[in-house]
Amino acid sequence: MSNDRKQKLIDLGADTLAGTLLELAAHSDEADDLIERLISTPKENVQRFRKKLSELKHSRRFIDWRGAAGFGRELEMLLQDLKSGVSDPLTGIELVAAFYEADNTIFEMCDDSSGNIGDVFRYDAKELFVDYAKRCKEKGKIADIILKVNQKDNYGIRDTLIDCAGECLPDEVIRTMIARLQEWADKEKDEYGKRHHLRSIESLARQIKDAELFEKTRIASWGKVSTAALVDVARVYLESGDVETAHSRLKKISEGDNFQAYERDNLLEEIYQKQGDSEKLTELLYQKFRSYHSTDTLQALLDIIGHDKRVEVVADEVAQILESSALQESDAEFLISIGKIDEAEEYLLGRADQLDGNYYSSLFSLAEAMEAENRHLAASLIYRSLLNSILERGYTKAYPHGIRYLKKLDKLAVSVSGWKEFNSHEAFKEQILQAHGRKRSFWSKYNEESLSDQVNIL
C-alpha cells in the first residue's frame, strides 16, 4: 500500500509536489524546517545548527510539560540539521559534544517531567555521536572530548557518552581514559565530584569487561559493600566470563536478605546453567515458579526437568494454590492461563472478600476472563469491587468506567442462577445506593444511559 501511494505521489509531478509542500510549510513549522534542510547545502545546514544552538542558549522562553514533546521534536530536528550538514566525523563529534554542553540551558528552559527531552540526549544525540565516532580514526581525540564533556554533569545526562565509549573506542584508549579519571578522582576533595569520576570508571571497566577494576572502584566509591553492590559486581564478573567469582560474590549476601531478590535469582539461574549444576538450577526454578506462578516460570522449570512432568507439577501447584487462604491475583491469572477455569472460579469465589478494586489492571482482566467463560457470578463479584473502588474514592473522572461496570452487572445478573452466600444484584444496588446515593452526577448519568439503552431496544 505504501509503495502504491509513493508511486501516485511521483505521478503527480515535481511542480505539484513542490507547491503542496510549500503550502504545508505555511501551516507547520516542522514541515518548513524540513524543507529548509532539504534545499540547504551541507555548509548551510551546519550554520543552521550553530545558529539554532546559539539561539537556544540565549532564549528566555519556558516550555511547560504540555509543550515538552514538541520541544523534543525541535531538538531532534536540530540534530538532523547536523547530520545532513556534516560529513567529517571529527567535526560532527565536536558539534554533538556542543549539543551536550548546552544541557544546562535546555533543561532549565523546560519542564521535562515526561522525559522527552532527556530521551533526545540519551538516544538521538548518542546515536549520532557513536555514528561519527565509529568513522573517526582519531580515537584519542574522541576520548578527550568525552572526558571534557563529562567533567561536569549537573543533569546526569552527559555520562551517556561515557556509557557508549565501548561502542566506538578500543580497549587501550578506554584504559587511558580510566587512568585520567583515576587521577582526577584522587585529586578531588568534593565527595560528590569524586564519586562522579569513579562512576565513570565503573562504566568503562564494565565495558572492557574488567570485573576486578569494577569491584575495586565500587568499594572505593562507597566503602561498605552493600547487597546492591554485590549484585552489580557479580553481574560484571558473569559478563566477563568469570562464573565462579560471580557466584562467590552472590554467596556473600546474607540469607534472608530479599533486596534485589529478582535480580539475584536471574543471575543465579545463569550461573547454574553455565556451571551445569542441574540440581541447584531445578531447586531455584521451583522456587521462582512457586513464588510467582505464570506460564513463563512454569515453562522455564519444565525446560529443565522435562515437559513430561507437566501434569504432575501443575496438579501439585494447583492444589497448593487452592489451599492458600490469601488472594493472589497472579495465581488466578495462572489458573486461567493453564485452562483450569473451574479451579479459578473456586479460587476467586472463596476469596471474594479480599478483592480490592484499586488493583484495576489485574482485576479487570480477570473479570473479562470469567465473563468469557460464562462464570457470571465470579465476574460480577470482581466488577462489584471495581465499582466500589470508584465510588468510595469519589473519583469523578472514573465515573464513566463505574457506570459501565454497573450496567455490566445489570446484564450479568440475568444469567446468574444462584448467588450462594453473596448479596443478590438487587441487594447490592440497594447497598451502594444507600452508601453513595449523594453522588448525583454518577446516578444521573447512569439513569440517563440506562433509559437510552431501553429506548434503543424498543
pLDDT at res. 306: 96
Q: Tell how many helices (H) and how many strands (E) occur in the chain.
A: 27, 0
Q: Of 86, 163, 155, give the one whose Cα is nearest residue 130.
A: 163
pLDDT at res. 339: 97
pLDDT at res. 286: 96
Q: What are 212's three cell numbers?
A: 576486578
Element (H, E) at 412: helix 399-413
pLDDT at res. 457: 47
pLDDT at res. 322: 97
- DSSP for 91-137? HHHHHHHHHHTTHHHHHHTB--TTSHHHHIIIIIIHHHHHHHHHH-S
pLDDT above 90 coverage of the chain, percent: 81
* pLDDT at residue 304 is higher than 50: yes
CA distance 225 to 215: 9
Number of other CB atoms surrounding residue 310 within 10 Å: 15
Question: Considering all CA atoms of the chain, what is the largest pairwise distance in Å, rounded to the nearest integer?
Answer: 85
Number of other CB atoms surrounding residue 58 within 10 Å: 7
- DSSP for 124-171? IIHHHHHHHHHH-S-HHHHHHHHHHHHT--TTS-THHHHHTGGGTS-H
Q: What are the b/e assignments for 92-121, b being 16+ CB within 10 Å?
A: bbebbbbbbeebeebbebbebeeebbbebb
Task: Work out the angle between the directed axes of helices 310-323 and 278-291 (0-180°, nearest 10).
Answer: 40
Q: Could you tell me the pLDDT band of residue 450, with boundaries at 50, 70 and 90? A: confident
- State which amino acid sits at residue 304: I
- Which residues are registered as beta bridge partners of 110? 63
Q: Taking CA 58 as the corner, what is the angle to CA 56 and CA 63, rounded to the nearest 5 degrees?
A: 55
The distance from CA 93 to its chain's CA centroid, rounded to whole angstroms, is 29
pLDDT at res. 3: 74
* pLDDT at residue 453 is higher than 70: no
pLDDT at res. 401: 95
Q: Of 136, 119, 134, give the one whose Cα is nearest residue 167.
A: 134
* pLDDT at residue 300 is higher than 90: yes
Residue with cell 551546519: 46
Is the pLDDT higher at 16 or at 33?
Answer: 16
pLDDT at res. 5: 84
- State which amino acid sits at residue 274: K
pLDDT in tens, 41-99: 777 778 888 998 999 888 889 999 999 999 999 999 999 989 988 999 999 999 999 99
Span 186-214, mean pLDDT?
Answer: 96
CA distance 205 to 211: 7
Of 47-61, 114-128, 286-300, 416-430, the poorest mean pLDDT is in: 47-61
CA distance 435 to 20: 61
CA distance 385 to 405: 10
Measure the N-to-C terminal CA separation of the chain; round to a whole number of Å. Answer: 43
Number of other CB atoms surrounding residue 187 within 10 Å: 10
pLDDT in tens, 233-276: 999 999 999 999 999 999 999 988 999 999 999 999 999 999 99
Backbone angles phi, psi at 271, to 5 degrees: -65, -50
Residue with cell 478494586: 357
Q: Could you tell me the pLDDT band of residue 28, with boundaries at 50, 70 and 90? A: low
Burial class (CB in 10 A: 0-12, 13-18, 19+), 432: buried
Q: What are 168's three cell numbers?
A: 566506538
Q: What are 304's three cell numbers?
A: 529443565
Backbone angles phi, psi at 328, to 5 degrees: -125, 115
Q: What are 134's three cell numbers?
A: 565509529
pLDDT at res. 432: 96
pLDDT above 70 coverage of the chain, percent: 95
Q: Of 215, 201, 196, give the one whose Cα is nearest residue 151.
A: 196
- Alpha carbon of 217 to those of 185, 210, 240, 259, 347: distances in Å? 11, 11, 16, 22, 51
Of 13-17, 224-228, 329-333, 428-432, the poorest mean pLDDT is in: 13-17
Q: Provide the mean pLDDT of the chain.
A: 92
Side-chain half-sphere exposure of 33, counting CA atoms within 13 A: 17
What is the rounded radius of gyration, in angstroms, for the C-alpha atoms of the chain? Answer: 31
Could you tell me if 206 and 236 are in contact, meaning their C-beta atoms sit under 8 angstroms apart? yes
What is residue 328's DSSP assignment? Answer: -
pLDDT at res. 412: 97
The model's pTM: 0.80
CA distance 44 to 74: 18
Q: Could you tell me the pLDDT band of residue 39, with boundaries at 50, 70 and 90? A: low
Span 357-370, mean pLDDT?
Answer: 94
Q: Of 273, 318, 271, give the one whose Cα is nearest residue 293.
A: 318
Side-chain half-sphere exposure of 242, counting CA atoms within 13 A: 15
